[in-house]
A = this chain, B = another copy of it.
Amino acid sequence: MKDQIKDQIDRQPKGHKAAVVLSSGGADSTTAMAIAAWEEGFEIYSLSFDYGQKNRYELECARKVARFFKVREHLIIPLNLRLIGGSALTADEIAIPRRRPDEELSSAIPPTYVPARNLIFLSLAVAWAEVLGIADIFIGVNAIDYSGYPDCRPAFIDSFQKTANLGTRMGTEGGEGRITIHAPLINLTKGEILRKGLALGVDYHLTSSCYEPDPFSGRPCGQCDSCRIRQRGFASLGLDDPCR
Chain A residues with a Cβ under 8 A of chain B: 1-2, 4-5, 8-9, 75, 77-81, 83-88, 93-95, 97, 108-111, 113-120, 123-124, 126-128, 130-131, 150-151, 153, 155-156, 159-160, 162-164, 166-169, 171-173
Residue pair B167, A127 in contact (C-beta under 8 Å): no
Residue pair A77, B86 in contact (C-beta under 8 Å): no
Bound-state Cα–Cα, A8 to B115, Å: 12
Q: A116-B164, A153-B166 are in contact. List 14 more A-B contacts (CB 8 A).
A: A4-B111, A8-B86, A78-B78, A81-B127, A86-B131, A115-B131, A116-B124, A116-B126, A116-B167, A116-B168, A119-B167, A150-B166, A150-B172, A159-B163
Residue pair B169, A85 in contact (C-beta under 8 Å): no
Contact of A168 among B79, B88, B119, B172 (CB under 8 A): B119
Residue pair B126, A5 in contact (C-beta under 8 Å): no
Residue pair A164, B128 in contact (C-beta under 8 Å): no
- Number of copies of this kind of chain in the complex: 2
Chain B contacts for A79, CB-based, 8 A:
77, 79
What 5 A-B pairs have minimum CB-CB distances, sorted nearest first? A86-B131, A116-B127, A151-B167, A115-B127, A159-B163
Given contacts A119-B126, A169-B109, contact A77 B75 (CB under 8 A): no
Contacts A/B (CB < 8 Å), 12 sampled:
A1-B95, A1-B111, A5-B94, A77-B83, A86-B131, A109-B173, A115-B128, A116-B124, A116-B126, A119-B127, A156-B167, A159-B167
- Classify the secondary structure of A's interface with B: helix
Residue of B nearest to A5 (CB): B111
Bound-state Cα–Cα, A123 to B84, Å: 12
CB distance from A4 to the nearest CB of B (A): 5
Residue of B nearest to A76 (CB): B83
Given contacts A77-B80, A88-B1, A124-B84, contact A166 B156 (CB under 8 A): yes
Bound-state Cα–Cα, A93 to B173, Å: 23
Residue of B nearest to A150 (CB): B172
Bound-state Cα–Cα, A173 to B107, Å: 13
Bound-state Cα–Cα, A159 to B166, Å: 8
Residue pair B171, A150 in contact (C-beta under 8 Å): yes
